[in-house]
Structure formats: structure tokens, C-alpha cells
Structure 1
Amino acid sequence: MKGFQQLLHFGWHQALSCLFPVVIFAALALTQVLSLPLIPRYDWLLLICIGMQWAMLRSGLETRDELKVISLFHVIGLALELFKVHMGSWSYPEEGYSKVFGVPLYSGFMYASVASYLCQAWRRLDVKLIKWPSSWLVIPLAASIYFNFFTHHFWIDVRWWLSGLVVIVFLRASVSYSVNELRYRMPLVLSFVLIGFFIWIAENIATFFSAWEYPNQREAWSLVHFGKISSWLLLVIVSFLIVASLKRAKGKEETNIHTVHTPTR
């Protein structure tokens, strides 16, 4: 029973951390079946995302520092969307006033929702990094993974080489998290795989509700290819590395401030 209670408590914190993604999925489902007045569906989705972001900040569910991280992911995701849509990897077939070069602006919030989940779960579960590798390895690896999403259209796709590097660099790293004041530990590479898998499931739900569509889904919806998990896995790694680096920098800053203001004898 103790283990079952711990699992329920862990699931509850995970559910609270997924609040932003859940609102996006709910909005995708509702706007597909309801008749929307005045403006197109994509514009309603943008307004809902902006309203949710404002509500989370106003209610204290997200801090201003977390909003800065989420905004960074919005920009990173939107840049990737603009490129991928231009290259024909996927499309947004519906009309919208808020579309820029074929990409509706609400799409950036889907990437931001991943960052929102990471920030929320990090705080709620008191995540600690164990044997985190040097920034000299982490930052170039994250940058290489992100830019491979662009360069593989013109050069060879090195995602599997990058995946191998991830395993090598983070082989000894793990995350520690707290559930009801009991701490647990998980290999970091395993956490990457699990998050990437669940985002692939979320992608299937999103395409089912016409958030976007792949070329093979234009005639009728079909399951997103299982190989897409590798793409989401790498994108999750980029997201995690950015959040982790910013959290570590923030932690060092707070430690330095505390040290300065602590009187010495």
C-alpha cells in the first residue's frame, strides 16, 4: 500500500505539472468539434494559449523565471516550425490570421508546454542532478542536436550518432527526485526515453485533433511513425539540457548571494 500511495502521489504531481499541455489538448479537441465565431480556429487556439500562460503566471503556478525559460522555448520551437513547414515536413492546412509563412503562432506554445512541464516537475519533485557532465560537453551537444533538425535536409542525418553521444556523455548521470519526502533515483538516459515516448503519444493525439498533419495524414489520420520517437527524444534532450543548465546557473547565483549576505566571524 505504501508503494501504491507513493505512485499515486507521484502521478498527481505529474498531472499538475502537465496542466499546460492538458489545456492545449483540450483546446484542440473542443475547437475541432465546436462551431467557433468571429475568427478561425488557429486564432482561437492562440488566444487560449496566451490566456492560459497569463493565468498560470497570475496564479503563481509559474514563476517569472520559469516564464523566461518557457518564452525561450517558444522562440526555439517557432523557428523550427517555420523551417520544417517550409521544407514540407508537415503543414497547417487551416486558415488563420495569426499564421506566419504557413505557421500559426500557437504552435510555439506546444514546444513551450514541454518546457512548462519540465519546470513544474522540477520544482514539485525537487529534482536534483547527480554527476552532471561539464557544460563544455552539454552545451555543444544540445546545439548539435538542435541544428541537426535543420541540417539533415541538406546533409547527412547524424541523429543516431548524436544519440550515441548522449548515452556516452550522460551514462553516469542520474536524477534524484522526492515523493512524500522519500527520494528516488533514475538514470538520466532512461528519463529521456520515457519523456520522449510520452510526447510521441501526445503527438498522435495532437495530429488526431488536427493540430498539424504529416504528408501521410492528408487523406486520413494514421498513427505517427514510431521512428518519430527518435526526433522527440532528441528534442526532449535539448529541452532538458537547457532547463538543467539554467537551473544550475540559478542555483549557483542564489548560493553566491546567500554566501555574500551570510555574516562571517
Structure 2
Amino acid sequence: MNLPTLAAIDEHLVGARPHPWLARWPRFLREFLYFGIKEARACLFVVLFFAAVFTVPREGLFGIARYDVLLFAALAIQAFMLLAKLETWDELKAICLFHAVGFALEVFKTSPSIGSWSYPDGGVTKVLGVPLFAGFMYAAVGSYIIQAWRLFDLRVQHHPPHWMAALVAILIYANFFTHHYIGDYRWYLAAAALGLYARSTVVFRPLDRDRRMPLLLAFVLIGFFIWIAENISTFFHVWSYPNQFGAWAVVHVGKWSSWALLVVMTFTIVANLKHIKARIHVPD
């Protein structure tokens, strides 16, 4: 029996034609099932990348350091996504921007003068103390949002003017750097984002009917799952915070807010892709 290709699976998911054997299921179970399948599919890059992160032993493979193996794995996954036409060239450009933005932040945060966290293992592909694969952890968030947009037929209603969203996103990114010198203004920025997106609603289609949820709730939920992934990553010593060198400890819950704000910034970049921007309603 021939297994369905990924393209065929995507076509089925986007077409929202449930299998006949599901007809007797209650609607909420059918929608919940398809919601879960679409979420898992949208996380394809995330799942494959972090599968490599969690399975490659700390000592590396075949004499190649772990960080170098993870870079090769990330590049291979990204090439697969592109060649399989799961991502367009424009989407790849946005993902590369996420990588660059994330890598710059990593270099700053791991610098000797800041020391927020560190990458303890060696590797040929470490630049300024940061392995090059690290930027893909930020790119993975962008990839998820791009894939979810297509699979869930996402639309946004009452999105704020794009220039306002861009300004808040820039200030959020800047605060990750400046709070070491002039104070942490994340809660002021969170309040600004709250006011800016208070009326924004994301419309999505788990199966064959549109559902709605506040866009702010989506930011918070995605930030939470990134925080969970961060805890798993530090447990496997991919990177470590200063309080985790003696023994592993749960990442402070305050990082959840940082990740939620980073999701706001990531969403702003994705929202400016031409084919996505057309599906965003900005009130006059």
C-alpha cells in the first residue's frame, strides 16, 4: 500500500474534507482531532529540529561536535522544507531574518559582560561563543507561524496599523538589549501590546467552520510552549543559565513573558509577507 505523501496530507488538511468514518463523531471531537493534526503538521520544522537537539548525544556523532551536527541537521531540514515546496522563497527570506535577529541576540546575551546564559560545549561552528544552529531556534518559531497560517487558513481582524505594530516590535527587540543598562521596560511594552491588539481576533479553521480567538491569547499560548521547550533544552544541557551549572533547575517563569513578547515580534515580521498581509484586516 502506498503511503500518502506530505503534499497529499496537506491538501487533505487544507481542503477540510474529513474522512467518512469520522461522521459519527461529535463535532467538537472531529474539530479537536483536526486541530491537533494541523498543529503537529505546522510544527514540522520544530519537531524535526528539536528531535535532533534531544537525540544527538552531548559528545557528538562520528567525531563531530554536537553543535556542529545540529547545524547540519537544521540546514538539511530547511532544505527539505524548501525543496518539498512546504515553504516559499519569500517565506525562507523571513525565516533567515528570524535566524539573524535571534543570533544577534544570542551573541549579546552570552557575551562575557552580560552572561545571561552560555553554550558550554565546543564546536567548529561557534561564532563569538554562540553555535550557528542557535539562530534556528528562533527561526523555528517563525516557521511554525508561517505553516499554521496556511494550514488553518488564518485571517486577522482588527489588526492595528502595521507601522504601530512594527514600532512596538522594534521596541520589544531593543528592550532585550537595553534592559541591562537602562532598566527593563517589558511590562510597559506588554501593556502597549495589550492596548494595540486588544480588539484583534484571529480567525482559523480547524475543520470546515471558522473559529475565533483573541490574538493576544495566541501570543501567550505560543510563548508558554516555547518556555516548556526551553526547560527541556536546558535539561539536556543544550545551553545553561548561571543557576543551572550545579544542578538543573526550572527556567524562571518570568521567561514566559519574554517569549510571549518575542512571539509578538515574530508575528509582526510574518504579517508583512505579501501573501499574508493580504489576509489581515486593518480598520480605517
Offset at residue 241 of structure 1 (A) = 1.3
The answer to which of 211-220 and 29-38 deviates more is 29-38
Q: TM-score, normalised by structure 1?
A: 0.92
Q: What is residue 31 of structure 1 aligned with on the other side? A: 56
Distance 1:137 1:29 in 2: 39
Of 122, 133, 141, 2:168 maps to: 141
Q: Which one-letter code corresponds to 1:185 in the other structure? A: R
Instruction: For residue 88 of structure 1, give the secondary structure of its aligned residue in structure 2.
Output: coil
Offset at residue 38 of structure 1 (A) = 2.7
Question: Residues 169-208 of structure 1: matches in 2 within 5 Å?
Answer: 169-208=196-235
Q: What is residue 258 of structure 1 aligned with on the other side? A: none
Aligned partners of 2:203 and 2:213 also within 8 Å: yes
Q: Which has the higher helix share?
A: 1
Distance 1:195 1:32 in 2: 28
Q: What is residue 115 of structure 1 aligned with on the other side? A: 142
Distance 1:35 1:228 in 2: 29
Distance 1:68 1:137 in 2: 23
Instruction: For residue 62 of structure 1, give the secondary structure of its aligned residue in structure 2.
Output: coil
Q: TM-score, normalised by structure 2?
A: 0.86
Question: Residues 39-78 of structure 1: matches in 2 within 5 Å?
Answer: 39-78=64-103
Answering whether residue 225 of structure 2 is matched by residue 215 of structure 1, we say no
Aligned partners of 1:28 and 1:210 also within 8 Å: no
Offset at residue 59 of structure 1 (A) = 1.1
Offset at residue 39 of structure 1 (A) = 1.6
| Percent of residue pairs bearing the same amino acid type | 50
Of 124, 131, 140, 1:97 maps to: 124
Answering whether residue 50 of structure 2 is matched by residue 21 of structure 1, we say no
Instruction: For residue 185 of structure 1, give the secondary structure of its aligned residue in structure 2.
Output: strand
Offset at residue 34 of structure 1 (A) = 7.3
Offset at residue 221 of structure 1 (A) = 1.3
Q: Which one-letter code corresponds to 2:99 in the other structure? A: H
Structure 2: gaps spanning 5 or more residues: 1-25, 280-284
The answer to which of 44-53 and 178-187 deviates more is 178-187
Structure 1 runs (4+) deviating above 3 angstroms are 247-250
